[in-house]
Structure formats: C-alpha cells, structure tokens
A and B are shown apart, each in its own frame.
Chain A
Amino acid sequence: MDSNSDTAAVMATSTTAAVELRGLTKHFGSVQANAGVNLRVEPGTIHGVIGENGAGKSTAMKMLYGIFPPDAGEILVNGKPCAWNSPADAIAAGIGMVHQHFMLAGPYSALDNILLGAEPLRWGMIVDRKKARAELQALASRYGLAVNWDEPIETLPVGVQQRIEILKLLYRDAQILILDEPTAVLTPQETNDLFRNLKKLRDEGKTILLITHKLREVMSFTDRVTVFRAGKVTGEVPTAQTNPQELANLMVGRKVVLNIDVPPARLREEQAIEVTDLCLAGTVAGSRHKLTEISFSVKRGEIVGIAGVEGNGQTELLQAILHPRDPRCRTSGTVKFLGEDVTSYETLRIRDLGVAVIPEDRQQEGLLLERPVSENFLLGLQRSPAFSHAGFLNSTNLQKAAAQAVEEYDVRPRDLTLPAGKLSGGNQQKLIVAREFQRKPRVLIAAQPTRGVDVGAIEFIHNRIVRARDEGAGVLLVSFELDDILTLSDRVLVMYEGRIVAEFSRSEVSERELGLKMAGS
C-alpha cells in the first residue's frame, strides 16, 4: 500500500501544528517517565509514535489527553496553549483517544454506546435517538465506516467494535485522534480496513496519532514518525526518508537484528507433541464446540506455529494440552508428549517430562507480580531437587541460580528482590524464558512470546526459541503476531473457530494466504 503519496499533508513548517508538545516532563515517584519531550504533529497527517515499552510514549499521549498533568512543559493544540484538568477538557478541545482496551458497554447497542455521555436531548430530558441516528448515519457514510447500529456490541467482531470507538470520537467532533496500539487484536484484513479508513479520515482533514510498536505499520501508513526512548524523543523523521532498521535502532539505542536468520530445521525422529481428536464442548448445551477434532503433531527439532485471530480456540487448545485431566479443558481426545500418553497426568507430572511453557498471559499465568524476582524464578521448579530438599526450600541454591539466570538472560534491573510486577514487559518475559529454560526443555510451548515486548527483547526471545529447537526441543508456537509465525515456524497451522483449517510448510506460506485462512475463507 502506497501511503506516502502526494495526498499526504504538506509539511510546511509555516502552518500551525495541530499538536505541539514542548519540553514535556513527568515524574512518577523517582521514575522519570518523560524528560523534555518535544513533539510536533502537522494537521491532516498520520503521525506514528513508536518506542519500546516504558519509553514514555503512552505517558506523553496521556498528558495530551488530559489524564494527568505534566510536571513541566507546554501542550499546544492548534497553536493555543492548553492546561487540561481532565480528559473532558481535552475532548472539548477536539482530542479523542481510542484505548488499547476498548471502553464499550457490551450489552448495549452500537448506537447507545456512541451516545453514552453525549446524548442529544429533546425538551431537555428525552434522548433524541432519531436525530442522533441520522447524524451518525451521515458521519458513517462520509467516512465509509459501516456499522449495524442496533446489535449489542459484544456480538460484533472486534474490527467493528473499533470502528464504533472511532465513530464515538467523530460524533464528539474530535479533530485529533489518538489510537493506542489499534491493531493488536485485528486480523491482517481488518488491519488493512482500519488503515484505509484512517487514511480517509486524514484526507478529510483529521489529524491522527498512531501509537504502535509495529514497524511495518509505521512504514506503510504514517506520514511522519516520532521515536521515543527512555522518556525522550530520539528522532522525528518523515516516514518516506527512513526505514525499519533505522527506526528500530533509534528505539533500542543500538543496532538490532530485525529478522533473525533461522536456519532450516533438523528434525529428529521422536515426536514431541501428538494431539489426536482433541475436543472441548461448549459450556452451554448446543453451543458451538470450543475445540473440534484437533489433531496435529510436533517433532523434536521443529517449530510448529499456530496462527489465528485471538479467540479462535488457541487459549483453549493450550489449556487442553497442559491440563488434559481437567474436564473443563478437554472433553475428549488424547494428548501425548514425547511418546508418552499424558491424557490422565497431572500438570506437574507433564511439566516434569521436560515441558517448558511460556504462558499466553504472562502477568496472569506466568508471574506472581507482587513477589520478588527470585520467587518468580522458582515458580514451577519448587519441587525440583535443585531447589528443595525434603519439603524445605534451598534458598542458597535458588539465589545462586536466579542470579546466574538473570545475568544470562539479561533481565534488567539485576535485582532479585524487586517485585516482578515492577519489571517492564520485555524483562518479565525474559524472566519467564530464563525460568522455563532451566528445565532443559524437550518440549517448548510458547504462547504469545512477544506480546507487548519491545523490539530488542523480541530479537532475544526469537533467538532463544530457535536455539531451543536446535538443541532438540519440539516447539509449539502460538501467536497472533504474524511476524512471530512467519519468522520462526517450520510449519504453520491455522486455527479458526476451534478447528485447524489449514497447514502450510515454511516454503509455501504467504501472508495473504494466511490472512484469508485466519478470516475463515
């Protein structure tokens, strides 16, 4: 898609900026979240804001949206200095924000969700839905954002929900739209739709700020891009004059290998994972099965990727193979690890076969957020002879091993007493990888290994997964990120509505083909 065409707004500095941040500074306790951030966004452009987790991009955007005030510095909107007390002030000034997690009331209709808090009133008390509907219809057709107004929101696809969030902003007459990681939950097709719509909005004169960590999106859909690192802006460039490598280097502050070289797999004979006819019935009688006759296998020395849009049974599949005894996780079918039928095994016994797991939701399933790093390093290994004897913990060994692992896996800061919740996303993930690789895995189940993780850590985690494969682990990789799947997988399976609907080998897979299968066609 050719975005940097002539339709992009003129970047003449003589125009008044839609948004200008001057020397914005913000502390949280002793943490400096923003240190003199300068940012200039021209009206009628799509402006990318990128940076690693904790680089301060969200903080800056939240100050712009009035969620909290800056300690120092100035916010100018259309050339006028602003001092918001709350998002309400920012909204009144024409700024709107679509949060990463949508702020929608599930059972309400699309129409009511949009009106909520901005109801047009007749005689000062009755909600004038008719008038609102007409106005919204006009808005929707102007920007090509088709929506079914009367369906309960929770029954609509995520892409449509996002469209409703955008309409919500337009209805409130927002001129400047901030989108926080808008594509995290979308299929490739939905992503394309979204950006087509955003371009239309831009061409109609709206200004769009796109917070993302996906370099591909920045490259193909933005006009200009600002890079954050460690609370500061490290670069602001026209997209046409940069490339992903340069942006990644600016984000991380060193040279990053974006697409690691994955040598071809050397498969071993033994099967690592064999799943046969795995089913999970729906919770309500007659409802669609959550998993239907899933069968696949993973050999040792191989990475099998499972692609699919969030919510198509990936979570259920992982739960079923890791907790096969639990009737809430598996209703029928068998699971074998390393040739052993584990269907009746307890999870602990399965893990002790040499099964390492990078869980899907690392904060929920992977870590004890309030507990120190060392205790998190122990989780799941507490009964291994290395760390306990006759029911008593061996904290000397634990401290030693944890200190070593934190060093080897570069978990920052190197503080074993820090609660895991205080680590950044990337470092949390590295901690989990460090722990799981302690097991010398023969099977590795990696779910969303790079979700919310910065570019530098992605490179690291990808390398580690490939190394585990080359050391003989069979790897099952489940990811919503196509980059993960395409970079790492030796084979790709596609999940849709609880089934495996397609299989590709590394050589024959194409992004387009994958996208179609993921969308169910």
Chain B
Amino acid sequence: MRKVLQPILAVALGLALGLGVTRIAGESPWHVLQILWRSAFGSNYDFGMTLFYSTPLILTGLAVAVPFQAGLFNIGAEGQLTLGALAAAAVGALWPVMPWPLAPVLATLAAILAGTVWGAIPGWLRARRGSHEVINTIMLNFIAAGLASYVTLYLLKNPDSQNPETRPIGAGYLIHQFGVFGGAPVSLALPLAVMAAVLVWILLWRTVLGYEMRAVGQSEPAARAAGINPGRIRIIAMSVAGGLAGLVGVGEVLGNAGKFRLGFSPEYGFIGIAVALLGRNQPVGVVASALLFGALHKGAADLDLETEHVTRELSLILQALIILSVSAEGLWSWMKKRREA
C-alpha cells in the first residue's frame, strides 16, 4: 500500500510546492491548476496530445527501469531513441516504395536494432572493460547526436525543406492514427508502448532471464556465486533498454512526422529517468508516471499563453519539484521513525 501511496503523496507535495511558486510569481494557483488541467485533459485533442507526449515517455521510462533492475543506470536513452528514429527514417527514405504492412515492420525492426546496438555498447564496455555505464551512455548521447546531424544534413537531406530533416518516408510506412483525438498524432505507437510495458513486466517477473537480471541488480556477488554471468546479463539488460528507447522512433517517424527531424525530442530520454524513478522502476508505475509527465508537458505549454507571469519553464520547475519530493526517501523514513518514536 505504501508503495502506491508514497509516489502519489510525493506528486501532490511537488505540485503544491510548484503552485506555491506560481503564487510568488503573482498568479493565482487555482487559476494555474485550472489551466493545467484543461490544457492536458480539456478536450479530445488536448488529451490526445497528452497521450502523444506520454508514448515516448513510457518507452524511455522502461529503458531506464530495465537496466535499473539489473543494477545499471541508463542515461543514454536520448541517444538510443535518436538513433532508433534515424534508422526508421533512413529505411523509409532509402526504400520508399515498400508496401504496407511490410514497410512499418521493417522500419520498426530497424529502430529497435539501432537502439539495441547503441545500448549494447555501454553494456559491453561495462561488462568486459569495467568502465562505468553512466559516463559511457552520456558520451554516446553526444556521438548519437553528431551522427544524426551528419546523416540528416549530408546523406539524407530533404531537398524540399529549409529545416534540418531527412527526406520523407514512403507512404506505405505510415501507421494508423486514431481519429477520436481531433487531429492529435496518437498512433499505433501508443498501444505498442503499452504492450512493451506488458512484455517488460513478463520479462522481469515471469522469466528466468528477468530473475537473473534482478539477481544481478540485487547482489552481483550472490548472482555470480549462483552461476549467473553478471557481464552477460548487463549486456542483455542494456541491449533491451536500447531497443525500448529505439521504439520511440516508431511513433515519431511512422506515426507523426514521416521523417527524422533533428531535435524532435524534448529530451524524452532524460525525462524517462524521472518517469522510471517516480514509477519505482516497475512497468505499471512507469506507464502511470509517463502519463503524468505527458500531461504536465502538455499542460504547461498553454500556461505561457494564458497567464501573464507564468512561463513554460514552470513545467520544468514542477517536474523538478515532483522528482525532488519522490527522491526524498530519507524524509519519508525520517517521518516514519518520528512517528514510531
């Protein structure tokens, strides 16, 4: 019970603190809350946009949660999703006449593969060379960004556009968008992300491999003594994470833009860390917290327009305050101890 209650209370606390800040900025907190709510859930379109932002966050949240269960910290989801999207767009741009449904399947596999490779590299470096995945994933983010720029601007540049983006993918690649959301680009990528969460849950809690991952995450010496090869498990965990992050490319390229646009991600990979943290690194929790962060992202976009003093940055402050209150576990145990004393 506490496991569910604690994140909810933390969110409430963070939200209250954030609204306190708007008060200081000279805006009525009630007014701000109303705008946030209306903007995130007010209409089919608004809710659709919330879902659209939540979809990649589910995937990046999982991409952080899976390695976390195996005792690894994946800061590289941003790079992994960049390459996933790039690979999907490249397949679509290079072979534009591919028929549906083969086309989206191929592009999806390409996205998964690219992300997997980008995740496997730091996994391998950690397992075989002992170099820390936090540093390597951060550096690989930069390399991925550079690589994506080069491919976009020099190899697959869209000749009909001034924007830094690749040639459009063939029509056979586009996946279904749901009509009920009034034009918000909610595509099949959403059920795909939810399905990924279900599969991750099965992996972690119902398979031998998942058990071994969690054993390594709990205690490497114990896992090793039991005959589990921690290095191999680490490589697998990071590869799975990379593949999950790579799937972000499906929603963006096949379900939304129809091409790879440089800088399309408002740092989904990093918000994914917060999503995983708030979701306690559990698939169900990740889906729920991705929804929350998606709503915050959408809701805050309109604050700028509809209020005098509050800007988009408030959303970032809110997110930061929520993360702070979630991570303040010390505070919780302190309060608990006081109650017992």
Contacts and interface: CB of A to CB of B under 8 A. Distances in A.
B219 interface: yes
A407 interface: no
B131 interface: no
Nearest to B210: A393
A361 B229 CA distance: 19
Interface string B198-220: 00000000111101101100110
A369 interface: yes
Contacts of A357: 225
Contacts of A370: 218
B227 A350 contact: yes
A391 B209 contact: yes
A70 B229 CA distance: 47
Given A382-B212, A391-B209, A366 B227 contact: no
Interface in A362-401: 364-371, 375, 378-380, 382-383, 388, 391-393
A442 interface: no
A262 B223 CA distance: 34
Interface string A290-324: 00000000000000000000000000000000110
Interface residues of B, number: 20
B4 interface: no
Interface in B28-77: none
Given A368-B215, A368-B218, A368-B219, A391 B225 contact: no
B224 interface: yes
Given A375-B211, A393-B207, A393-B208, A380 B227 contact: yes
A323 B230 CA distance: 13
B194 interface: no
Contacts of A365: 219, 221-222, 224-225
B340 A359 contact: no
Give the residue among A370, A375, A383 with the most B Cβ atoms within 10 A.
A383
A391 B213 CA distance: 13
Contact of A379 (B206, B226, B340): B226
Give the residue among A323, A346, A357, A382 with the most B Cβ atoms within 10 A.
A382
Contact of A382 (B208, B218, B222, B224): B208
Given A364-B221, A366-B222, A367-B222, A348 B208 contact: no
B222 A351 contact: no
Contacts of A346: 227, 229
B314 interface: no
A232 to B, nearest CB: 22
B107 to A, nearest CB: 28
B228 interface: yes
A322 B222 contact: no
B227 A347 contact: yes
Contacts of A364: 219, 221-222
A351 B227 contact: yes
Given A364-B219, A392-B206, A347 B211 contact: no
A357 B221 CA distance: 13
A392 B215 CA distance: 16
Interface in A309-358: 322-323, 346-352, 357
Contacts of B209: 391
A157 interface: no
A322 B227 CA distance: 9
A218 B264 CA distance: 73
Contacts of B221: 361, 364-365
Contacts of B211: 375, 378, 382, 393
A173 B209 CA distance: 58
Contacts of A124: none
The range of chain A's interface size is: 20 to 34
A359 B225 contact: yes
B228 to A, nearest CB: 7
A117 interface: no
Contacts of A366: 222, 225
Contacts of B224: 323, 347, 365
B207 A380 contact: no
A211 B340 CA distance: 29
Contacts of A348: 227-229
Nearest to A387: B208
B207 A379 contact: no
Give the residue among B215, B219, B226 with the most A Cβ atoms within 10 A.
B226
Contacts of B207: 391-393
B226 A367 contact: no
Nearest to A360: B225
B219 A322 contact: no
A379 B228 CA distance: 9
A264 interface: no
B206 A393 contact: yes
A29 interface: yes
Nearest to B217: A368
Contacts of B218: 368-371
A451 to B, nearest CB: 16
A382 B221 CA distance: 16
A106 to B, nearest CB: 22
Contacts of B212: 382
A358 to B, nearest CB: 10
A370 B219 CA distance: 10
Given A383-B208, A391-B208, A392-B208, A367 B227 contact: no
A392 B208 CA distance: 6
B115 to A, nearest CB: 22
B261 to A, nearest CB: 39
B208 to A, nearest CB: 5
A388 B206 CA distance: 10
A391 B208 CA distance: 5
18 contacts: A347-B224, A347-B225, A348-B228, A348-B229, A351-B226, A364-B222, A365-B219, A365-B221, A365-B225, A368-B219, A368-B222, A370-B218, A371-B218, A382-B212, A382-B226, A383-B208, A391-B209, A392-B206
The 3 closest A-B pairs by CB, nearest first: A348-B227, A380-B226, A368-B218
Interface of A: 29, 322-323, 346-352, 357, 359, 361, 364-371, 375, 378-380, 382-383, 388, 391-393
Given A350-B227, A351-B226, A359-B225, 8 more contacts: A346-B229, A347-B224, A348-B227, A359-B222, A365-B222, A365-B224, A370-B218, A392-B207
